[in-house]
Amino acid sequence: MVRQKIEINRIDNLTARQVTFSKRRRGLFKKAQELSTLCDAELGLIAFSATGKLFSFSSSSMTQLIQKHKLLTDKSNKLRKWPPQEDQPENNGNEGLKKELMERTIELQRLKGEELQGLGLDDLIRLEKLVEGGLSRVGKTKELELEEENAMLKQQAEVIQI
């Protein structure tokens, strides 16, 4: 008997979604443990359920893995300089502007959900707060627009009744 392929979409039923999360989480953690054992790899895996519950697996100390990740990320970020110094002639103080433009471009991509690899937990939390703040501002703006539209409609209704 052949297993049927399922379409990968969000599961609407909350109970079914939680059961699937639990089963697949166990399978994922089992695979991580097997990969660690077979290949002598250092692995750290963190998962948060929809309810915010934390689940984690690490082949060694999670703290040491995170510190190692930060160290390697910092090193790779220092190696990636923008613009490349070898290829650029002296350009009269535009270096700072180009660097700022690149940083803003990357920040905008991250706000769009792109270029997230290599971000640490602190960076992800900061990004989450930025997105939540933006959503809050959009919600307030929409609320004000709706209130203005509601007031205008009330005035129109009063004019029609007179």
Enumerate the domain spans of the chain: 10-70, 81-117, 120-162
Sequence-separated (6 or more) residues with CB below 8 Å from residue 62: 44, 56
Token pair in block for residue 113: 């959900």
Higher pLDDT, 45 or 114: 45
Of 58, 31, 55, 53, residue with least CA distance to 43: 58
Give the pLDDT confidence score for residue 91 in this predicted structure.
54
Q: Cβ-count burial of 33 within 10 angstroms (0-12 exposed, 13-18 middle, 19+ buried)?
A: middle
Give the pLDDT confidence score for residue 86 in this predicted structure.
52
Q: What is the pLDDT of residues 113-158, one digit of tens each?
A: 777 777 788 888 888 888 888 889 999 999 999 999 999 998 888 8
Q: What are phi and psi of 12, to 5 degrees?
A: -75, -40
Which fold is adopted by the domain 10-70? SRF-like (3.40.1810)
**Which residue's entry shows tokens 């963190």?**
46
Give the H/E segment covering residue 46: strand 44-48
Exposure on the CB side of residue 79, measured as CA atoms within 13 A:
6
Between CA 145 and CA 132 the distance in angstroms is 20
Provide the residue type at 150 as one letter.
Answer: N
Give the pLDDT confidence score for residue 43 in this predicted structure.
92
Give the pLDDT confidence score for residue 20 in this predicted structure.
93
Token pair in block for residue 121: 């937990």
Provide the residue type at 100 as one letter.
Answer: E
